[in-house]
A and B are shown apart, each in its own frame.
Chain A
C-alpha cells in the first residue's frame, strides 16, 4: 500500500512535446520499467494541442486530455505546460475526469491558481502542486522530476513544500535505514491544490506508513493548521523541519509563498505550534533523518 499511486495508475503528460515534459516523462517511464519491474508501461501518452496523432519517443500524442483519457484510460496527469497556460491545463484535466493532477510548472500567476482551485471544488480530481517536484512511491511509480535512485521503499510518509529539501530528506532517511511509503512535494506557491492536512490524513490511514516527516517553510500558516490537525487526529509519530529561520521579513525567499508578511508566517511560530502538538522538530536541516528515528522511538 501507499497513497495516491498504485498499480492501477496510468499517466499522461500535458506538455509532452516540451523539453522538460519529454525528458521527465522518459525518466519516469524508465523508473517504472527498471526500478519497479512493471511489465506494462504506466506512462501511456501525452497531450499537446495541435500535435495530436503524432508520436514522440513512443508516447502517443493527443490534442486534448479528454481524448487522451478516452483512448488510453489514463487516470493521472503530469503537467509541464508553461506558466501562462498551466491553470487552464489543470482545469482541462479536471474536466476530463482525471483523478490525480500533478502540476510541476513553476511561476503560475496566483489569481490563475485561485480560479483553478475554485474550478476543482466539487469535482473528484485531486491536484498536487503547482511548483512541486511531484510524487513518488518507491518501487511502484514516480510521477515527477525527483531523482528516482535516492528514494528507497519503506514506511515513512514524506510531505514537503520544497524540491531539493525533499531529496535531502530522502537521502538522510536512507542513511538511517528508512525508506518512504510515498513522498509528495506539495509545492511552494501561495495557492496549492493539496496541503499538509490532506496528506497527513491519507498517511494516517495508510497501513504501510508508520511515521510521517513534514517539511515546511516560512510564509502562510499551513504548518500551524497541520499542527492543530496532528494534535487532534494523528496517532502515528510525526517529525518535521521548518526552513527559513534566518530569512528576513518582507522578502520572498525563492518560492512565491515563502515570505514573512506583517510579522506572520515565521519559522519560530511554526516550530512552536508543531512542538506543542507533540511533533519531533529537527533543529537543523541535517537532522531530519535522525528526527524521524527519534519520533519512531518516542
Chain B
C-alpha cells in the first residue's frame, strides 16, 4: 500500500524524525496563506501523486508547468497552485495517461550542503532488511547502480534490533560526511530503520536525503509503502489510503477477496492460482491475443466471489472474449460452473466464453456445462483454450 509524500513525512515526524516544515495545500488561496505561514524567502511546491519523476514531469494542460516548482512569493505560490491543482501530471512513472493532482505540499526551502540517496527494503536473497545509501542523491538510482555501482553502499540489519549506531557511523564516514553531519547520520539512520520496522514498510525511499549547511540530515522527499499483509497491525493506515490513486476495479476486486490487475488487452481471464493466472496471460499473448487482466480467484472462493469476478471482468468494456482456466485443487470445478451459470443469469454474458476445466469434480462440472443450454466453448487443454479464445476475435 502506497502513501503520499506528505503523509510519509507526517508519519516520520510523529515518529520523532526531523523533517522540513511543510503545509498541505488544496487550493490557490491556501498556497498563498501557506507561503506566508512558512515565512521564508523560498519554498517548494510539490504535486502529491503516487509516482516518482515529478520534478521533470509536465502537466497535460500546460506543458511548461513542472510537477515540482520553487516559489519565491505568496503570489507565485498561488499562481503555480492554480496551474497544478485539478490538472493531470505526466511523469516517467505515470504512463501517458498521467495522474490527476488533487493535493499539493508546500515545504520550506533549505540551505543544502549535499544530497544523498537512502532506501530501506527487504532483501529477499539474504532474508534481512537492507539499508541502501549513496552519495549520489537526487539522481535516478537505477542509473547510478548501472554506471557507478561502487557509489551505492548496502548495509543489512537485524529485524529485531534495527540498525546499530556503529553501522550508521561507519556508513557516514564511507559517504565522506564531516563534522556535525556524522552525528546527525548516527541519529537519523537508526531512527529511520526503526520507523521501517515498526510500521511494517515494504519499501521506504528518501531521494534526496539532504545534509544542510548546519549539518542536519533531513528527508526532502519520501516514498513509503507498507506490506499489505501487515495492515491488520496498523488499523490507522486505512485513513492514509487514497482511492483516487488506485484502479477502481482493483479496489472492488480486493473487497471481494480477489486478486485482480487490469491490463490493456481484450481477452478477460478468470483463473485459480497466481502462477496459473500469469501463465494464462502469457499463453494468450503467445497465441496472438492480448490479455485484459490478471485475475486469481484464489483457492477457497465461493460462488458469490466467482460471480463477482465475472462482473469485474465484464465491467471492462475492452473485453471482447473471456477465457476461464481452472485447475481444481481446493477449488472445485463445479463451483466455478455454478458461478458461471449464475453470471449468465445475473450479469448477462454477451461475449464469447471459452472454458477449460481440469481437476477436482471436473466430471460433474462438465456435465453441468453440457446441460446448461448455454453457448459455451469448451477446451481440452491450455493450448486448445488459448487458440479457441483468440479465434473468437478474428
Contacts and interface: CB of A to CB of B under 8 A. Distances in A.
Contacts of B272: 164
Contacts of B279: 165, 168, 241, 243, 285
Nearest to B287: A284
B43 to A, nearest CB: 31
Interface centre among B200, B272, B278, B383 (most CB of A within 10 A): B278
A115 B58 CA distance: 43
Contact of A108 (B229, B294, B358, B386): B229
Interface centre among A220, A244, A254 (most CB of B within 10 A): A254
Interface in B363-391: 381-383, 386
B123 to A, nearest CB: 9
A180 to B, nearest CB: 15
B329 A164 contact: yes
A286 B274 contact: no
Interface in B173-225: 197, 200, 202
B142 A285 contact: no
A190 interface: yes
A161 interface: yes
Contacts of B315: none
A84 B276 contact: no
A114 B128 contact: yes
A245 B276 contact: no
Given A253-B278, A284-B282, A110 B294 contact: no
Interface in B133-189: 142, 158-160
A111 B275 contact: no
B142 A263 contact: yes
Contacts of B232: 83-84
Interface residues of A, number: 61
A153 interface: no
A166 B360 CA distance: 14
B230 A168 contact: no
Interface string B264-292: 00000001111111111111111000010
A133 B70 CA distance: 54
Interface of B: 122, 124-125, 127-129, 142, 158-160, 197, 200, 202, 227-230, 232-233, 259, 261, 263, 271-286, 291, 294, 296, 299-300, 327-330, 358-360, 381-383, 386
Interface of A: 20, 83-84, 107-115, 117-118, 133, 145-147, 150, 160-168, 171, 188, 190-191, 215, 217-218, 220-222, 225, 241, 243-248, 251-258, 262-263, 267, 283-286
9 contacts: A110-B200, A110-B202, A110-B227, A110-B229, A245-B285, A254-B277, A254-B278, A263-B142, A284-B282
